[in-house]
Amino acid sequence: MQKISDIKEIGLKDLKVDDFIERQVREIRAKVGKGVAINALSGGVDSSVVTMLGHKALGDRLRTVFIENGIMRQGEPEHVVAIFAELGVRVELVDAKEEFFSALKGLTDPEEKREAITQAFYKEVFGRIVRESKAKYLLQGTNYTDVEETVAGIKRQHNILEQLGIDTRKEFGYRVIEPIIQLRKTGVRRVGKALGLPKELYDRPPFPGPALAARVIGEVTPERVETVRRATAILDEELKGTKAFQWLAILHEDRVTGLRANKRDFGQQIEVRCWDSTDAVTGTPTELPFKTLTRIADRISNEVPGVVSVTYNVTKKPPSTIEAV
């Protein structure tokens, strides 16, 4: 296993994309030999690039799974699987919705919710698939920023074996391969483009690991996620032409009185955020035209059942964060 201090960044000026791809493909082949490898694809830039590199190197000897956790955006799991099918890469869609929702049941604390999602993914669902697969290699999309954040203690350890509860000394057959560990996001995007990924994947806006659960304040139930999912789909339609860094819809726990068909309706509130940012470390709310904001409010309050109030957050990060949970 590579020591963290031995990992050297490849900056953009030193990145020769074709050489990089060739070297990684060679190294994956050399490490895996005649064996079988496995990886989890989320449709994010990092895991998409690793999937392409792995398939270029190993073909059918890389087993790629997409875990449907029930908290992705509208149609996302099927859409990502279809994109890879077009590229000639078979991806298994694993339905794990029930496991994730039962792990989230009754939880309202943000950190407990995040931890439950991490545990359900690594320990239960993906952990089980890896153990049953007999694969001896895991391909993982750790990037250089992850390494830095791990060293700085901002993120949890990225060593997937530890997260899986697998002791490398005992289970010595397993090894992790991290082909993009020397690259930052812009470098990863360039490699993705060269590997033939469509722009919608290599140029994807950021989306959090805990997915729509990062946008549900209070308990994460299938119904409450569906409310955020519908509001998100409307925002995506209305804002996709803008240059904003990221936008999101948040479901609040508090209810407010609204009026529907001349009846008072103690309904739900959606908060919209739209960010200008370059690195997500700081952010300012985008100055969206008032007409755009009112159209969004009209559509969400009319098209998403139960929602009677839509607000726009104009707070900067910091003290706000980009996500709500």
Residue 202 and residue 182: Cα distance in Å, rounded?
17
Name residue 253's amino acid: E
Residue with the CB atom nearest ligand XMP in the bound state = 209
Closer of 61 and 158 to ligand XMP (Cβ)? 158
Q: How far is the CB of 207 from ligand XMP (least distance, A)?
A: 6
Nearer to ligand XMP, 174 or 207 (CB): 207
Nearer to ligand XMP, 286 or 301 (CB): 286
CA distance 146 to 169: 24
> What residues form DSSP beta bridges with 247?
274
Torsion, CA 31, CA 161, CA 143, CA 23, rounded to 10: 0
Report, in Å, the least distance between residue 243 CB and ligand XMP.
16
Q: Where are the beta strands (DSSP E) in 197-294?
A: 246-260, 263-276, 284-285
Q: For binding to ligand XMP (CB under 6 A), which residues are involved?
A: 206, 208-210, 214, 246, 280, 317, 321-323
Measured from the CB of residue 165, what is the shortest distance to ligand XMP in angstroms?
Answer: 20
Nearer to ligand XMP, 196 or 209 (CB): 209
Of the pair 35, 206, the CB lying nearest ligand XMP is at 206
Of 122, 139, 118, 140, give the one whose Cα is nearest residue 131. Answer: 122
In this structure, the number of other CB atoms found within 10 A of the CB of residue 224 comes to 20
Name the minimum Å distance from CB 86 to ligand XMP: 25
Q: How far is the CB of 155 from ligand XMP (least distance, A)?
A: 8
